[in-house]
Structure formats: C-alpha cells, structure tokens
Structure 1
Amino acid sequence: MVRDRLNVAWLQLLALAIATLAAASLLPSRWLIDAVVLSLAMAKGRVIVLEFLGLRHAPALWRGLLTTWLAGLTMLAGLAVALRAMV
C-alpha cells in the first residue's frame, strides 16, 4: 500500500518535471515561464513533503508549517527572479 503511494508520487514528480521542461520551452514570455516553473517547483516540493517525508498523516500543524515554509521559499525565489529582471 505504501509502496503504491510512493510509486504514484514518483510518477507525479516525473510529470511535474516534464511539465517544467515543456513550460520552459513553449511559453512565450519570460515572466510567465518563471511563474509557472516556480509554481511547479512548489507543487513538487509539496509532493515530497507529504509522501517522501511521510507527513501526509502528520498533525495538521506540521503540514501547515512545512507548506508555509515552502510557499515562503517559493515567494523569495520569485522575488529574486523579479529583482534580477529589473537589474
């Protein structure tokens, strides 16, 4: 049962990685590429946190803290990309 869930998570990560490559090569504008790639990175991080770190059945506080940390990290990366584009 756990092994099946990990296989599904691995397939999700693979699909998200392929979507990242497709977004980077198919989207027309640079800011849109950056936004989509960062969003997909956050989605991949969420899969890793829930499935591979085993927090799917952890208390909601832990899941919320790690999801908030992941969202904050993604926002900081987005800010860095935006600042770099302005320079």
Structure 2
Amino acid sequence: MIKNIIDGLPQIDLSKVICHKYLVGCKKKERFFNKITTKARHVLELIHSNVVGPLFKASLNRSKYFLAFIDDHSKKRWFYFLKIK
C-alpha cells in the first residue's frame, strides 16, 4: 500500500474495496477445448465445419453466409456460399 500520497486523504485498504466478482472476471480464462487434440492420419478422416454470417455486405450473388469445411489432415478447404442460413 502506498502511503501519504495526498495530504488529508485517508488511507484505503484496497482488499476490502475490490469486488470478488471483478477479480474472478479478470482471471486468465481457461481454454475451452482439450489441450491434447487428435490429429487426423488420413484425408477426410476428420472434417471441421463452420457457418459464418451474416456478413456485413452480401456477395455478388447476394449471399450473406458461407459454410466452410476444412480437412484436418490435408488442410484443404471447401467454401459454399449461402443466401439463407
């Protein structure tokens, strides 16, 4: 604790002022997924997918979403544009 910074200002014990919920919120977040991950050994053994959107601006064919597939082994990607989700 720093003392005597400003004359006349009472000393404050910060451990009583800072809220427990604030301290919990500031704590470093744990990773959501397992740290040990399984990697695919063959093409098309494990495919990741994700739907993205709505996009800020529609594409030339007025698609506002896209669907992405990623092969875990080869890292090959396929994208499909969607007008509706």
Higher RCO structure, 1 or 2 (CA under 8 Å, sep 6+): 1
Shared fold (TM-score, shorter chain, > 0.5):
no
Compare the two structures and name the one with the higher helix fraction: 1
Compare CA radii of gyration and give the structure with the larger one: 2
* TM-score where L is the length of structure 1: 0.25
* TM-score where L is the length of structure 2: 0.25
Compare the two structures and name the one with the higher strand fraction: 2
